[in-house]
A and B are shown apart, each in its own frame.
Chain A
Amino acid sequence: MTVSEPILRIENLSVALPEGLDRKHAVHDVSLEVHRKQIVCVVGESGSGKSVTAAAVMRLLPEKVLRITGGAIHLEGEDIAAASPARLCELRGNRIAMIFQEPLTALNPVMRVGEQIAEVLRIHRPQMDHRQIEARVVELMADVQLPDPDRLARAYPHQLSGGQRQRVMIAMALALEPALIIADEPTTALDVTTQAQILRLLRELLTKHDSGVLMITHDFGVVADIADHVVVMQQGEVVERGTPDKVLAAPEHPYTRALIEAVPRFRYRPEPERREAAVLAVEGLSLTYRSTSFLGAKRETRALDTVSFSLAPGETLGVVGESGSGKTSLAKTLLRFETPDSGRILFQGQDIAGLAGSALLQMRRHIQMVFQDPYKSLNPRRRIGQSLIEGPVQHGLSVGEAVKRAEDLMELVGLRRDALDRFPHEFSGGQRQRICIARALAMEPSVIVADEAVSALDVSVQAQVLRLFEELQRRIGFAMIFVTHDLRVASNICDRIAVMQRGRIVEIGPAQRVFEAPEEAYTRELLAAVPGFARKVAAVA
């Protein structure tokens, strides 16, 4: 094999979709190459065929549904599109390894992580004895910069943080020194700070090992930070390819341009004038999760620790922080899905922290929530109309009036009036999130709590939904608490920002001030971890 021979060469790969869908091919005529010590990023929105391409290389496609109809996949010169199942078993792990998006579900929950890494070695390297394997596991775990590998090897997956789990996955992938590592959205489920660390780790490992990486991502920030070569896919076809500098700075295809345009970047709302009395005021709110183990040992987790802030009518307060910082607990407590231990939640002067029974049901209409996952937050068995009128009818509106209001709201959020007769599965993620917003607005609330409401959406859709939020707020005038892990998104839509860490608000202030002149070290840390792309493009433009 010559030096210039790529590790992976995909030639004119086509994968057929079953009949009757909106297009014929999941992947059509895709060619790409991955060389040694190279990171190739395949970028695209959901439905672009990027994950199908990766699964085809692993030969992990559900073959009855998705058939490879043309093209070849050469791994180190060997055509694996035609390899036998036995040969595939040898190749997987040995020559190709995969890193998955969600490290918690990709690891076996009842097996110690060291064992899981050792298992790979035992299957593929039967000649290694017990001692050698143990030593190799520790070496690998040190390689991926896990602290105290001897001890962590005996931990179970749930005892590790998300970042540590992903490091274990990477250690497993590296165990056999594979030629090709396929990483499918490896950092999407992680916090920004952890994401930055994992990306740095992948880059460093490549200088030490001889592998090539095929990375699937939807995030141009990740591309800018790590890629040697970019392939942009749309609707199953490659629309643009090149070095990241070229593709990001001077995109040629309109789709690439649109995608890059949609990546959120820091942009601030004009400073609001002084406002009247707060619609919502939170004073010293604390929430503790208690659990008792089988032997009676009590465990307490402080989810919220004396949180205080106030929200003016029509204002948007962004709540940012890493996972586990208490952002979602705060949202849940404001909606009274959780009852706080202490502190007050004053809604228009009335303390709602201790409400129960019908008083609680009555109060709920004033504070509405938009959930993270639009695929799960609409009852799949009920028509959109049923979902939309349920709340208003419960609170005394007649069905006719509620339907009228629902129709108006559908138009307001940019959908057709007759969409009310349809079921949720007939809509895309972005459309569903619009419906969820309409459902919240149907209650004519004073406050909307949006918990990561755009995080599950593709960037272009994300931008649309953010614009919709802003426009609706201008027209209707509700106040909003916008919980997000994405500082760039927060900067676009929030007047003020509250930074949370371990259940406390460590910094709160006008968005521009917090992001451009942060006072706290933790805020600076968060800002430093934002994928570098936003700044880079700003510099070019």
Chain B
Amino acid sequence: MSANGQAPSLARRGILIDALLTNRVALFSGALLLAIALSAVFAGLITGGDPFLIRPRLRLRPPGSEFWFGTDALGRDVFALVLHGGRISLLVGLFAALAGAAIGTVIGLLTGYLRWLDPVVMRVMDGIMAIPGILFAVALVSLVGPSLFTIVAAITFAEIPRVTRLVRAVVLSVREESYVRAAEGLGIPARLVLLRHILPSCIAPLIVQTTYMFAAAILSEAVLGFLGVGFPPDIPSWGNVLAEGRAVFQRAPWTIIAPGLFLAVTVMAVNLLGDGLRDRLDPRLSRAAKVSS
């Protein structure tokens, strides 16, 4: 029917699936991430035993057939600690990324669309961006005390301005499109115009930004754990496993290498996935050539 040569937008059939299938690196990263997530979810089944079981006689055993990643200074199985730690680390990453994306999107939509709100809100965002994220997180957690909520909130807070700026930029360009004007001309209230006509254009860049935030949040949590203001030792996360291993690093490097490796691989996989998605979803970087007459 159409003879104008425009390729159908890939928004029609699951953009995520489409993006994944066309990029092998992204596909591999996605699979790796899924494996790590599954290992964390089923940590109990895989490792069988209690990760906190203290076995003073078996302390600082090197990796072997009994303890794959060795044991730590208290004789705990590092493999079990790392898998269980993945639960918390991934959860923090996921929650922080989703919360940051959701809050940032709402603020971004409003500031982009309601011009009078813009100068005020954006100056506030500039202010937040001026505070070093980790410093703020350390301060908040030491004040309120570590819990899943405070740590997620502390990490999310620093991510909000970035999402706000991203969404606002998309809104500013899309609001000038005639179809937005047309909707306004039909007497559609602003909140529905935002929801139906503007928000969908933000989704693709948001997905990409969310993956980056996911990786950054995992790292931030690890940094907090390492600095000793993260979760208490009875809740293992990659960060505090790393922190505990630091004392015995010279004698038992595996206590640090194992959680460090998981952390590094996860962050790398998420970033590669984000890169792959961006290549596919961001029209400015899209390599798909357009046919025009």
Task: Name A residues whose Cβ lies closer than 8 Å to a Cβ of B.
Answer: 17-18, 21-22, 26, 46-52, 62, 64-66, 335, 337, 360-365, 368-369, 371-373, 376-382, 387, 390-391, 394-395, 422-423, 425-429, 436, 439, 443
Contact = CB atoms under 8 A, between A and B. Distances in A.
B31 interface: no
B3 A373 contact: no
Contacts of A364: 184-187
B292 A51 contact: yes
Q: 4 nearest interchain CB pairs? A: A391-B186, A364-B187, A377-B178, A371-B178
B188 to A, nearest CB: 5
Contacts of B182: 369, 371, 377-378, 436, 439
Nearest to B7: A425
B255 to A, nearest CB: 51
Contacts of A26: 291, 293
Interface in B181-238: 181-189, 192, 196-197, 200-201
Nearest to B287: A64
Contacts of A22: 3
B8 interface: yes
A376 B2 CA distance: 16
A443 B186 CA distance: 8
Given A52-B293, A426-B1, A391 B177 contact: no
29 contacts: A17-B291, A21-B5, A26-B291, A62-B290, A64-B289, A65-B291, A335-B185, A337-B184, A337-B185, A369-B181, A369-B185, A371-B178, A371-B182, A376-B177, A377-B179, A377-B182, A381-B11, A381-B200, A387-B179, A390-B188, A390-B196, A394-B189, A394-B192, A426-B1, A426-B8, A428-B3, A429-B4, A439-B182, A439-B186
A49 B189 contact: no
Q: Which of B6, B179, B189, B196 has the most CB of A within 10 A?
A: B179
Contacts of B178: 371-373, 376-377
A144 B222 CA distance: 66
B186 A365 contact: yes
B293 A428 contact: no
A371 B8 CA distance: 23
B30 to A, nearest CB: 25
Interface residues on B, range: 20 to 34
State the main secondary structure of chain A at its contact with B.
loop
Interface in B38-54: none
Given A372-B178, A373-B178, A380 B9 contact: yes
Interface of B: 1-6, 8-9, 11-12, 177-179, 181-189, 192, 196-197, 200-201, 289-293
A436 B179 CA distance: 10
Nearest to A26: B293
A394 B2 contact: no
Given A18-B291, A22-B3, A382-B197, 8 more contacts: A65-B291, A363-B187, A364-B185, A364-B186, A376-B178, A390-B196, A394-B186, A428-B4
Contacts of A379: 179, 183, 196-197
A46 B9 contact: no
B59 to A, nearest CB: 59
A211 B3 CA distance: 35
B175 to A, nearest CB: 12
Nearest to A63: B289
Contacts of B188: 361, 390-391, 394
Nearest to A23: B3
Nearest to B188: A394
B131 to A, nearest CB: 28
B99 to A, nearest CB: 26
Given A47-B5, A394-B188, A423-B12, A337 B293 contact: no
Nearest to A53: B293
A237 B293 CA distance: 13
Contacts of B183: 379, 390
Contacts of B2: 425-428
Given A46-B4, A381-B200, A390 B292 contact: no
B193 to A, nearest CB: 10
Contacts of B177: 376
A66 B182 CA distance: 36
Contacts of A18: 291
B200 A47 contact: no
Contacts of B5: 21, 47
A146 B230 CA distance: 69
A48 B179 contact: no
Given A335-B185, A390-B196, A394-B186, A381 B9 contact: yes
A337 B4 CA distance: 31
A390 B187 CA distance: 10
A453 to B, nearest CB: 11
Contact of A390 (B1, B186, B290): B186
A380 B177 CA distance: 11
A368 B185 contact: yes
Given A395-B187, A426-B1, A427-B1, A337 B6 contact: no
A394 B187 contact: yes
Q: Which of B12, B177, B201 has the most CB of A within 10 A?
A: B177
Nearest to A381: B200
Contact of A50 (B181, B197, B293): B293
A22 B11 CA distance: 22
Nearest to A443: B186
A365 B182 CA distance: 11
A390 B185 CA distance: 11
A443 B183 CA distance: 12
Interface centre among B4, B177, B178 (most CB of A within 10 A): B178
Contacts of B9: 380-381, 425
B207 to A, nearest CB: 15
A421 to B, nearest CB: 12
Nearest to B192: A394
Interface centre among B2, B11, B196 (most CB of A within 10 A): B2
Contacts of A64: 289
B55 to A, nearest CB: 59
A372 B177 CA distance: 11
Contacts of B292: 51
Contacts of A427: 1-2
